[in-house]
A and B are shown apart, each in its own frame.
Chain A
């Protein structure tokens, strides 16, 4: 047993080593403005006292993550300063793009992925080998993580590793530690708060709901832990009397319903239906004003970006997310099982992605990564995951718009699909047929339905139209069309996944 354990650990490292090789090779690839954002944060945290972190406006890329992430940047900046002092210089470091800064920041992401590795190791150590390795392949080699973290530039691998670690403690029944880690995660990146209701209900019911005395003691304990975490994070800023400024930075509601590139969520349909209806009504002779405000821009006074439909405010989206999560909260209340926690958390993030305010396409990682854990549980889950991970990865394509990375993103997606296909087929191999003929190819029960297959084939058409046919025939006219097409088409897939997950949770 021991020997097998060490062998499996080796295998996990093997996955990680292969992924690391790819990540290292991707160092000179395109990097978005997020690269400069993080460099600027290194400079801010390194050269300014804590009391000025959330006030600095030297660069437009101001610090807008919670304090732990700022501390994390402060920690990194120590090494950055050793590598090249210009990286952490507030003024002369602006848009610095020497090899030193590129290598430093890229390698910092690669190293911080060790957190993901540990989270995965802890989460999967007691599973059967095939499941464990499938999860590792799906998460460590996730094309979405590679695209967003190692090309586009962010630290999602690190944060998601933290989330997986928290889930692994919940699955072990060590609720207090799981809750603690989640609280810490929230202080790293507040966007993870979408799953907070699930955590709250689950912990309340599973951890605190045991007799009056113990229950109360536990409630106090966990409350104290959470408060302590937040105190460590925000305490210094409260001390300086800056908490309002911190919160203002963290929640920039002035940003509009959609991101510049519409994330494939519910609001895409809302906007398109609004446009369509307005167009139709105008044709029918109604007097419909063309709205001045845009959905991507901030809220400009009282004007609404919608022509027909009612205005959407952050509060509406908040209510809708909460409403969408409710069924899962009820389930969590009825039967708080550690085995289903990952599914609930993934579902919560799906809801947040679909109905949230100013959602980034990158947020789809928040549910595809936890869903990978769920995917190995049954054949149905595997089929669902196959679809949703392809769609969510494809929806990230517009992030890398430069020609140089085109083959890379396409190959990443194809490879991921192929790996999933082979992996799930191996997991769900037909054992009876297998025993009969030992040598031949194994028939597998894994396969996707007609509807799903044609939907995925449709992705090829969407890609061809938006990448080749549209620029060829229309040139620069209707430049928004390709992105809108991708968003809408992917939104269908994500909506399907949401409904599927909802049904799965309820039954």
Chain B
């Protein structure tokens, strides 16, 4: 378990960067950070891996609940399908591949990943992936092996991407102290939502999110082609990565437009995207039928506009307006598309007009939040996408980030309770809070900064937030102890949803506002740079 050490002792005070000398007396990160980014990253990532492997001791979704089980069984089933059937049959209904039983519904990169992991499982525990007979396979070794595939994916994709991001981000952002960098690394790697969903509930979000983080880092690194390749890969792993697409699109477009020959620049990136997609989708490009078959698997419109109690616009407002009854599915589809585009438009326009790194990160947050709020078929797990972009901005908006973490986790609370992950949920909350607050002087700085924003200074804001927080605490307790009335079995889920939704809306308004107020400041900053 890493992190910590005060900077206050004679002689070594000089070692602490200038910013840590002023203000608060504790700089918890000094000793960990003094060796530079690489060493601190290694140390924190070891700790993050430890936490992940400890969480993976807990049950996964659908453990011991036949006949359908849960996401764990879905992933295992995909390994079974991909290792035993030819590539072309992976998405096709057949005697050996019953699509109604957890049919593959993610793009081909997920299928390849399942294939590789399937081979790994086959090596050590062949029964767990044998065709048909392994359905609902649950064993000690099988669980451990599956858990290790997630752990290794995380370590091999998400961690390096995060490292790349941290290196580039803090190079472009001058003046971040070593302690700040270390704190930021911890915030990214100890993201409680991602840990709980990937290593508790069981999914492979770390791969698509890792690729996305890599693409974001590539943007900051000013390597647009790499961005396109990585983001196309992310899209080919999980279609939900499209939540970030508007931000990437608008930022890259905005940048291209500022080059000498915009058309050539756009063309270059377009080719990079197409080539990547062609390579990944190659087995399914031989006939139109195959291609459409895969596509239809990826967009399960028949599942309705929302599932369970997700804290987005459609689900929350459905308490008052019965969307599902008022509109047909196709019209709901267009409606949600229009709403999503509309909601992400402001941030896109801002980026096209004045692309900047800072604005791009806000753009990611705003576009993913717009998708979470308004797009079709959103799960409670989709909060991972906006939350990830918030972790990248953690140093910019620490207080909001802290609250967002709380409500993002809270919005998944019923899901995690169903998965029997209550203790990891509480513990990671504790761990996050403890580590978040280890960086004292940063908050002091932030408080003075926050006063320049008008949004959080509304007289009622603090009161509102506290009431909000208090109600959420009560809801935690109520959810765990009291049986809901029989007439409304999902009463508490609905209340949690409303609470989280109201916070998310406030948060989105704030970040959109911030992105726009940034732009004027940034444009002037860029001009200064150019003059130099």
Which A positions have Cβ atoms within 8 angstroms of B? 3-4, 7-8, 10-11, 14-15, 17-22, 24-29, 128-130, 133-134, 137, 141, 403-404, 407-408, 411-412, 414-415, 418-419, 422-423, 425-427, 429, 431, 434-435, 438, 441-442
Chain A min CB distance to B72 (Å): 15
Output the nearest chain A residue to B11 by Cβ-Cβ distance. Answer: A431
Q: Judge whether A419 and B12 touch: CB under 8 Å.
A: no
Contacts of B58 in A (CB 8 A): 28
Q: Which segment, of B97-105, B427-435, B519-527, faces chain A?
A: B427-435
Query: A29 vs B54: C-alpha distance in the bound complex, in angstroms?
Result: 8
Q: Judge whether A22 and B51 touch: CB under 8 Å.
A: yes
Contacts of A8 in B (CB 8 A): 6
Contacts of A130 in B (CB 8 A): 5-6, 9, 12, 31
Answer yes or no: B296 CB below 8 A from chain A CBs. no
Query: A427 vs B6: C-alpha distance in the bound complex, in angstroms?
Result: 11
Chain B min CB distance to A116 (Å): 15
Output the nearest chain B residue to A415 by Cβ-Cβ distance. Answer: B46
Q: Judge whether A26 and B54 touch: CB under 8 Å.
A: yes
Q: Judge whether A415 and B430 touch: CB under 8 Å.
A: no
Query: A18 vs B29: C-alpha distance in the bound complex, in angstroms?
Result: 14
Contacts of B2 in A (CB 8 A): 415, 418-419, 422
Contacts of A415 in B (CB 8 A): 1-2, 43, 46-47, 50
Contacts of A28 in B (CB 8 A): 57-58
Q: Judge whether B31 and A426 touch: CB under 8 Å.
A: yes
Q: Mark B314-335, 1 if CB is under 8 A from A, else 0.
A: 0000000000000000000000
A25-B424, A141-B1, A411-B50 known; A10-B11 Cβ under 8 A: no
Contacts of B40 in A (CB 8 A): 422
Query: A407 vs B152: C-alpha distance in the bound complex, in angstroms?
Result: 11
Given A14-B434, A129-B6, A408-B50, 8 other A-B contacts at CB below 8 A? A11-B28, A129-B5, A407-B148, A415-B47, A422-B2, A422-B34, A435-B14, A442-B15
Chain A min CB distance to B274 (Å): 40
Answer yes or no: B392 CB below 8 A from chain A CBs. no
A407-B148, A408-B53, A418-B43 known; A429-B4 Cβ under 8 A: no
Total A-B residue contacts, Cβ distance less than 8 Å: 141
Q: Judge whether B25 and A11 touch: CB under 8 Å.
A: no
Contacts of B424 in A (CB 8 A): 25
Q: Judge whether B28 and A25 touch: CB under 8 Å.
A: no
Query: A173 vs B49: C-alpha distance in the bound complex, in angstroms?
Result: 44
A-B contact pairs, 13 of them (CB 8 A): A11-B6, A18-B435, A21-B51, A25-B55, A25-B57, A26-B57, A28-B58, A130-B9, A408-B54, A415-B2, A419-B1, A422-B31, A434-B15
Query: A31 vs B53: C-alpha distance in the bound complex, in angstroms?
Result: 16
A407-B151, A415-B50 known; A21-B57 Cβ under 8 A: no
A18-B435, A26-B57, A431-B11 known; A441-B6 Cβ under 8 A: no
Contacts of B306 in A (CB 8 A): none
Output the nearest chain B residue to A423 by Cβ-Cβ distance. Answer: B31
Chain A min CB distance to B453 (Å): 29
- Rank and list the top 9 A-B pairs by shortest CB-CB distance, nearest first: A25-B54, A426-B31, A21-B431, A141-B1, A415-B46, A411-B50, A407-B53, A24-B427, A17-B434
Q: Judge whether A29 and B57 touch: CB under 8 Å.
A: yes
Q: Judge whether B34 and A11 touch: CB under 8 Å.
A: no
- Which of A20, A25, A27, A442 counts the most chain B CB atoms within 10 A? A25
Contacts of B141 in A (CB 8 A): 403
A7-B26, A442-B34 known; A18-B57 Cβ under 8 A: no
Q: Judge whether A129 and B50 touch: CB under 8 Å.
A: no
Contacting residue for A21 out of B4, B148, B430, CB 8 A? B430
Q: Judge whether A133 and B25 touch: CB under 8 Å.
A: no
Within 8 A of A (CB), among B146-169: 148, 151
Q: Judge whether A14 and B1 touch: CB under 8 Å.
A: no
Within 8 A of A (CB), among B423-447: 423-424, 426-428, 430-431, 434-435, 438
Contacts of A425 in B (CB 8 A): 34-35
Output the nearest chain A residue to B431 by Cβ-Cβ distance. Answer: A21
Chain A min CB distance to B406 (Å): 16
B interface SS class: helix
Contacts of A435 in B (CB 8 A): 14
Output the nearest chain A residue to B148 by Cβ-Cβ distance. Answer: A407
Answer yes or no: B450 CB below 8 A from chain A CBs. no
Query: A3 vs B34: C-alpha distance in the bound complex, in angstroms?
Result: 25
Contacts of B39 in A (CB 8 A): 418, 422
Answer yes or no: B3 CB below 8 A from chain A CBs. yes
Answer yes or no: B8 CB below 8 A from chain A CBs. yes
Answer yes or no: B470 CB below 8 A from chain A CBs. no
Which B positions have Cβ atoms within 8 angstroms of A? 1-6, 8-9, 11-12, 14-15, 25-26, 28, 30-32, 34-36, 39-40, 42-43, 46-47, 49-51, 53-55, 57-58, 140-141, 143-144, 148, 151, 423-424, 426-428, 430-431, 434-435, 438
Q: Judge whether A434 and B1 touch: CB under 8 Å.
A: no
Contacting residue for B12 out of A4, A21, A24, A434, CB 8 A? A434
Contacts of B36 in A (CB 8 A): 441
Contacts of B49 in A (CB 8 A): 407, 411
Contacts of A141 in B (CB 8 A): 1
- Which of B6, B31, B42 counts the most chain A CB atoms within 10 A? B31
Query: A51 vs B350: C-alpha distance in the bound complex, in angstroms?
Result: 81
Contacts of A21 in B (CB 8 A): 51, 427-428, 430-431, 434
Q: Judge whether B6 and A418 touch: CB under 8 Å.
A: no
Contacts of B43 in A (CB 8 A): 415, 418-419, 422
Query: A17 vs B433: C-alpha distance in the bound complex, in angstroms?
Result: 10
A19-B1, A404-B140 known; A438-B14 Cβ under 8 A: yes
Contacts of B30 in A (CB 8 A): 426
Q: Judge whether A22 and B1 touch: CB under 8 Å.
A: yes
Chain B min CB distance to A61 (Å): 25
Contacting residue for A129 out of B8, B32, B426, CB 8 A? B8
Contacts of B50 in A (CB 8 A): 22, 408, 411-412, 415
Chain B min CB distance to A484 (Å): 26
Query: A133 vs B1: C-alpha distance in the bound complex, in angstroms?
Result: 13
Contacts of A434 in B (CB 8 A): 11-12, 14-15
Output the nearest chain A residue to B429 by Cβ-Cβ distance. Answer: A21
Output the nearest chain A residue to B46 by Cβ-Cβ distance. Answer: A415
Query: A408 vs B434: C-alpha distance in the bound complex, in angstroms?
Result: 22
Contacts of A10 in B (CB 8 A): 26
Contacting residue for A133 out of B4, B47, B51, CB 8 A? B4
Q: Judge whether A7 and B46 touch: CB under 8 Å.
A: no
Query: A11 vs B6: C-alpha distance in the bound complex, in angstroms?
Result: 8
A7-B25, A133-B31, A412-B50 known; A418-B8 Cβ under 8 A: no
Contacts of B12 in A (CB 8 A): 130, 426, 429, 431, 434
Output the nearest chain A residue to B151 by Cβ-Cβ distance. Answer: A407
Contacting residue for B53 out of A411, A419, A431, CB 8 A? A411
Q: Judge whether B9 and A128 touch: CB under 8 Å.
A: yes
Query: A141 vs B3: C-alpha distance in the bound complex, in angstroms?
Result: 11
Contacts of A412 in B (CB 8 A): 50
Query: A419 vs B8: C-alpha distance in the bound complex, in angstroms?
Result: 19
Output the nearest chain A residue to B57 by Cβ-Cβ distance. Answer: A28
Q: Judge whether A426 and B5 touch: CB under 8 Å.
A: yes
Contacts of A134 in B (CB 8 A): 5, 31
Contacts of B51 in A (CB 8 A): 21-22, 25
Contacts of A414 in B (CB 8 A): 46
Chain A min CB distance to B455 (Å): 31
A14-B28, A129-B6, A407-B148 known; A22-B46 Cβ under 8 A: no
Q: Judge whether A133 and B57 touch: CB under 8 Å.
A: no
Contacts of A419 in B (CB 8 A): 1-2, 43
Q: Judge whether B8 and A18 touch: CB under 8 Å.
A: no
- Which of A18, A128, A441 counts the most chain B CB atoms within 10 A? A18
Contacts of A427 in B (CB 8 A): 31
Chain B min CB distance to A488 (Å): 28
Chain A min CB distance to B241 (Å): 28
Chain A min CB distance to B32 (Å): 6
Query: A29 vs B31: C-alpha distance in the bound complex, in angstroms?
Result: 31
